[in-house]
């Protein structure tokens, strides 16, 4: 072969070598741009920060409700009834604006084991109270229990007192009657009065102004009256009673009639008439007290009629001689003192005149003449 042939082959080989022919091809890697990577990093960071901010905001809002932060000031009288369960209480707390997130309140009460600790009652709650304080504030021993002030007028009967206490939310008439009839109160002045009839406390529920929880345990509520009675009818008063011819129960019976009959300034004069009739059974109305207030006690509180004088009751002083079986009302101390210190008179009768003042008489004829002269008795 010629020299030109070998030179031509060498040139072709050199060309293939320089062009890469005859060698395997390598796949080129695509490079991600630096700008795109930075954008993704920034997006991730922004997402994390945003989520953190949202969680922080949600946590702050939740904490604000749990801890009672930054709430508009509001005070609520809140009642838990025997029919309420936790869910209904939580719903009403939300309605009243005391909590914002009912589900959160439920979770908190569950975690702290307070769902079953709520007690029946009326409580003073406010938006200043956090979840823990709200739950603690609806307990029987809570300082947040609402109280009511009840004024018991002198001369109220036990039935009237019980109705008033029920009206004020202290207790029900039924519960009070049960407590009065069957609880053995530790007071010496009640020891000789048998259990079983709620009227046993008639005369001993001392009129005054009392503060009660709403509701109040009926036994404790009645005990308040008896404690006050015990403080007012002191040892000194009981020594005075012993100097009379009557027991404390009888003095209270006389005082209760005085209280129901008096117009205000005639207590000792009414007491004198009562004792004159008791001590002189052959004079006046022959030992019958004939106190209209006793008829009112047995006829349901109505204006007494002629027919009422025939009601067969041990309280009927028209039908039975002497004192009624017990007090017909709860007298105040002024009437109790008058029962122990009657005025000195020979009067056996009295009547209310057109001037709304009691007039007193020694004889039945004087009494009748006065009655016939008054317009109020001519209807």
Q: What is residue 362's DSSP assignment?
A: S
- Determine which of 109-123, 203-217, 253-267, 338-352 has the lowest per-residue pLDDT on average: 109-123
User: Which of 44-48, 176-180, 293-297, 327-331 shows the lowest mean pLDDT across its residues?
Assistant: 44-48
Instruction: Compute CA distances 148 → 96, 161, 313, 367, whole Å.
Output: 22, 15, 37, 46
> Which CATH number applies to 75-137: 2.60.40.10, 3.30.1490.480, 3.40.50.10860, 3.40.50.300?
3.30.1490.480
Distance CA 348, CA 138 (A): 59
Taken in order 135, 140, 143, 147, the sign of the CA dihedral is positive
Spell out the residues 6+ positions from residue 233 whose beta carbon is closer than 8 angstroms to its own: 189, 206, 248, 333, 336
Q: Give me the sign of the Cα torsion angle 340, 343, 344, 349.
A: negative
| Secondary structure (DSSP) of 134-179 | HHHHTSTT-TTB-EEEEE--TT--HHHHHHHHHHTTS--HHHHHHH
What tokens appear for 79 in the block?
């009642």
pLDDT tens for residues 83-125? 999 999 999 999 999 999 898 899 999 999 898 989 988 899 9
Give yes or no for residue 349 having a pLDDT over 80: yes
Residue-level pLDDT at 65: 78
Whether 177 shows a pLDDT value over 80: the answer reads: yes
Tens-place pLDDT, residues 283-324: 888 889 999 999 999 999 999 999 999 999 999 999 999 999
**pLDDT-based confidence at residue 331 (cuts at 50, 70, 90):** very high
Helices marked H in the chain: 3-19, 34-66, 86-95, 102-111, 131-137, 158-167, 173-182, 218-232, 235-242, 248-261, 267-279, 292-298, 333-340, 364-373
- Per the prediction, the chain carries an average pLDDT of 88
pLDDT of residue 228: 98
Percent of the chain with pLDDT over 70: 83
Residue 57: predicted pLDDT: 56
Q: How far apart are the first and last CA of the chain?
A: 170
Domain boundaries, the chain: 75-137, 147-232, 246-377
Q: How far apart are CA 271 and CA 267, in angstroms?
A: 6
Sequence-ordered list of residues with C-beta below 8 angstroms from that of 170, at least 6 positions apart, any chain: 148, 150, 212, 213, 214, 215, 216, 221
For the segment 233-268, what is each residue's pLDDT rounded down to a tens digit? Answer: 999 999 999 999 999 999 999 999 999 999 999 999
- Say how far apart CA 197 and CA 190 lie, in whole Å: 13
**Residue 5 CA: distances (Å) to CA of 1, 11, 15, 19, 21:** 7, 10, 16, 21, 21
Q: What is the pLDDT of residues 34-65, one digit of tens each?
A: 667 766 666 666 666 655 656 555 555 567 67
d(CA 297, CA 313): 10
In degrees, to the nearest 5, what angle opens at C-alpha 82 toward C-alphas 81 and 88?
60
* Residue 198, SS3 per DSSP: helix
Q: What is the pLDDT of residue 52?
A: 60
Evaluated on CA atoms 275, 281, 284, 285, the torsion sign reads: positive
Asked if residue 134 has pLDDT above 70, the reply is: yes
Average pLDDT estimate for 162-187:
96
């Amino acid at each position: 072969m010629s020299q030109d042939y070998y030179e031509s082959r060498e040139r072709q080989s050199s060309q293939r070598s320089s062009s890469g022919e005859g060698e395997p091809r390598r796949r080129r890697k695509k490079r991600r741009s630096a700008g795109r990577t930075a954008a993704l990093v920034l997006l991730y960071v922004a997402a994390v920060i945003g989520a953190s901010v949202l969680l922080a905001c949600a946590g702050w809002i939740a904490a604000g409700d749990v801890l009672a932060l930054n709430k508009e000031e509001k005070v609520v009288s809140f009642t838990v009834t025997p029919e309420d369960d936790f869910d209904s209480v939580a719903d009403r707390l939300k309605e009243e604006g005391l909590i914002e997130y009912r589900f959160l309140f439920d979770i908190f009460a569950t975690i702290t084991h307070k769902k079953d600790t709520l007690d029946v009652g009326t409580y003073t709650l406010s938006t200043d109270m956090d979840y823990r304080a709200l739950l603690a504030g609806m307990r029987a021993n809570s300082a947040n229990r609402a109280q009511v002030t009840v004024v018991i007028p002198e001369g109220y009967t036990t039935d009237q007192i019980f109705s008033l206490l029920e009206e004020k939310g202290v207790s029900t008439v039924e519960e009070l009657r049960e407590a009065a009839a069957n609880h053995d109160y530790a007071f010496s002045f009640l020891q000789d009065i048998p259990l079983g009839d709620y009227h046993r406390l008639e005369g001993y529920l001392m009129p005054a102004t009392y503060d009660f929880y709403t509701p109040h345990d009926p036994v404790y509520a009645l005990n308040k009256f008896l404690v006050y009675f015990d403080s007012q009818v002191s040892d000194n008063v009981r020594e005075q009673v012993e100097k009379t011819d009557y027991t404390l129960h009888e003095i209270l019976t006389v005082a209760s009639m005085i209280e129901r009959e008096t117009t205000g300034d005639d207590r000792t004069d009414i007491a004198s008439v009562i004792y004159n009739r008791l001590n002189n059974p052959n004079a006046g109305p022959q030992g019958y007290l004939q106190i209209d207030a006793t008829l009112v006690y047995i006829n349901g509180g109505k204006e007494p009629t002629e027919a009422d004088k025939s009601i067969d009751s041990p309280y009927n002083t028209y039908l039975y001689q002497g004192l009624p079986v017990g007090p017909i009302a709860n007298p105040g101390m002024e009437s109790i003192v008058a029962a122990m210190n009657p005025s000195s008179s020979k009067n056996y009768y009295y009547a209310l005149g057109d001037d709304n003042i009691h007039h007193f008489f020694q004889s039945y004829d004087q009494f009748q003449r006065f009655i016939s002269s008054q317009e109020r008795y001519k209807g």
